[in-house]
Amino acid sequence: MLQIDLTNKVAVVTGGSGELGRVMARTLAGSGAAVAVHYLRGQDRAEAVCQDIINTGGKAMTVQADVSDLDSVHAMRGAVAEELGHADIIVNNAVHQYDWTSVLEQATADYESQFRTCVLHNVFMAKAFVPDMIERKWGRVIGINTECTMQCSPSQSAYIAGKAGQDRVLRVLANDVGQHGITVNQVAPGWTISDKYRETPAEDKRYRDLVPMGRRGEDQEIANAVAFLASDLAAFITGVYLPVCGGNVMPRI
């Protein structure tokens, strides 16, 4: 039977205290990885995720960093290495939240923040963590993208400008480091049901009617894709943008 086995691996999940990040962190830990749960400001939430993992027999730590600052990311790398060991898996999930509006009305600062927290976030994580992966000839870089990058709908411009830039950075990185046994992939969720929406359901019929599978995805389904790409089952998959959205977007060839 095929199993996702991340025993003896160390994973870092940025935005690990968030709606999707916490499920990714718990899922990687459930597959055997020791997990560093990153946060920027949500220390209490990160500590709760860490405690969940420890309570189920896993190993975890919390770590604070500003992913848009290279020195801060390098400090995070040092803290993780000291407590858990060198990272084998990085999941670049954190992103800055802001109000969406038209291109003409969107603040310039919003484009700048998305560049820093999508593009530079992925660049800085690579600079900090990938050299150790190269040395050990094994590694997984997983960026969390979005179905929105393919949709280009009104009000999405700042967000998808950052995510499209992230896509190109990670595809180049896949070419740069593949020879070292390192894969670089992206998971692109749709409008996903997480704890927030379970507590306060949204009116989503219009969205569901557009999805070939007729429903919204669950946070666990996103985390399952991340765990698969982190495992040896996906050892020969790299450079992929993988929509996990029930077919709402389908890359064509």
Q: Which residues are catalytic, by number?
A: 159
Residue spans of beta strands (DSSP E) within 40-111: 60-64, 89-92
- Within 68-215, where are the H helices? 70-83, 108-114, 121-136, 148-151, 157-177, 195-199, 205-210
Cα atoms found within 13 Å of the Cα of residue 91, Cβ hemisphere only:
39
CA separation for the pair 243, 189 (Å, rounded): 6
CA 240 vs CA 59, 143, 175: distances in Å: 29, 10, 12
By the 8 A CB rule, do 141 and 130 touch? yes
